[in-house]
Amino acid sequence: MTIRRALWVAAVAVVLQGCGPVYTTHYDYTAPATPEGKACAAQCQVSQTHCRSSCESAQDACRARARLEAVQEYERYAEARTQAGKKIDRSVSSFDRSYSCSSQTCRPGCDDDFRICYSTCGGQVRATVVCTSGCE
């Protein structure tokens, strides 16, 4: 995704947020009734924790790659500018695309999987949608 496109998407998102109410879903959990169900639900929690940890590790690795690529791009840029006798007017940060490394893409999946697992173990998951801003 180019920087221009990312900025355009962000601008559209900000504009759309101002157009109406914003809703958030809250979840209430009722534990399974049986000891087996409770053990199963505990395993769901372990799986969710592992999923989130893997997600964060992938995000960290993505950021590290993005920073390395930014340094390499900057070095190529600086060398080309120097050879052309031009001023270096950009910094490494202007090549950094680590903003694209977001846990927002995989973390919700971890939480969705947890809720399915919890329900399968006999627990109950109740979703409540709440207006958080722009409410009338």
Strand ranges (DSSP E) for 7-56? 22-30
pLDDT at 61: 94
Reported as a single tens digit per residue, the pLDDT across 99-127 is 888 767 788 899 999 999 999 999 999 99
Higher pLDDT, 134 or 32: 32
Percent of the chain with pLDDT over 90: 71
Which residue has 């914003």 as its token pair?
22
Contact between 123 and 31 (Cβ < 8 Å): yes
- Render the burial of 103-119: b for 16+ CB within 10 Å, e for the rest: eeeebeebeeebbebbe
Which residue has 């399968």 as its token pair?
120
Tell me phi and psi for residue 18, to 5 degrees. Answer: -75, -10
Q: What is the DSSP letter of 104?
A: G
Instruction: Determine the Cα–Cα distance for residues 104 and 94; give it in Å rounded to an integer.
Output: 23
Instruction: Determine the Cα–Cα distance for residues 7 and 31; give it in Å rounded to an integer.
Output: 43
Residue 7 has pLDDT above 60, yes or no: no
| Tokens at 31, concatenated | 């534990």
Reported as a single tens digit per residue, the pLDDT across 46-58 is 999 999 999 999 9
- Report CA torsion sign: 25, 26, 32, 35: positive
Reported as a single tens digit per residue, the pLDDT across 70-81 is 999 999 999 999
| Tokens at 18, concatenated | 């101002």
Residue 12 has pLDDT above 60, yes or no: no
| Tokens at 87, concatenated | 């001023």
